[in-house]
Amino acid sequence: MNAAHLDHVNLRIPESRVDDAVNFYRETLGFRLEDLDAYQAGDRPIFSVRLSATSIIHLSPSESFEPPEARNFDHVAIVVEETIEEVKAELGDAGVGIERESTPKGATGTAPAVYIQDPFGYRLEIKSSHAEI
């Protein structure tokens, strides 16, 4: 097999907290949502957070949601175009706390990142596409 890219990640969220997901992923982080209207109309069981032309996060509302546990989930890494200083400023302006900062090595190399949590306990690594100098 010759993989091209990671297409999507599927995260369960509490069915009763879809508004929290919309507020966090669209309003706070600024990502575009897809199929929210279809989900709300009962036509689709999920809706999606568009990260790039080739990558999305499916959000699957579930009555039986259980928060992720450290022993079976660590984080989803998202590379952004902004510098890490711009990311930290945007998160600070939005009132999002940063758990920690690091310079991890990933698929696109080593670059600065911050770690935050979404409203459901999922840790997100927000990694700058700008490598440290």
- pLDDT digit string (tens) for 48-100? 999 999 999 999 999 999 988 877 888 999 999 999 999 999 999 999 999 99
Average pLDDT over residues 19-30: 97
Give the separation between CA 45 and CA 7, rounded to whole angstroms. 18
Mapped onto helix, strand or coil, the DSSP state of residue 77 is strand
Contacts of 96 by beta carbon, 8 Å cutoff, 6+ apart: 28, 116
pTM of the complete model beyond 0.75: yes
Structure tokens belonging to residue 95: 């009132």
Which has more confidence, 58 or 5?
Answer: 58
Would you state the pLDDT for residue 2? Answer: 66
Most confidently predicted of 14-28, 69-83, 95-109: 14-28
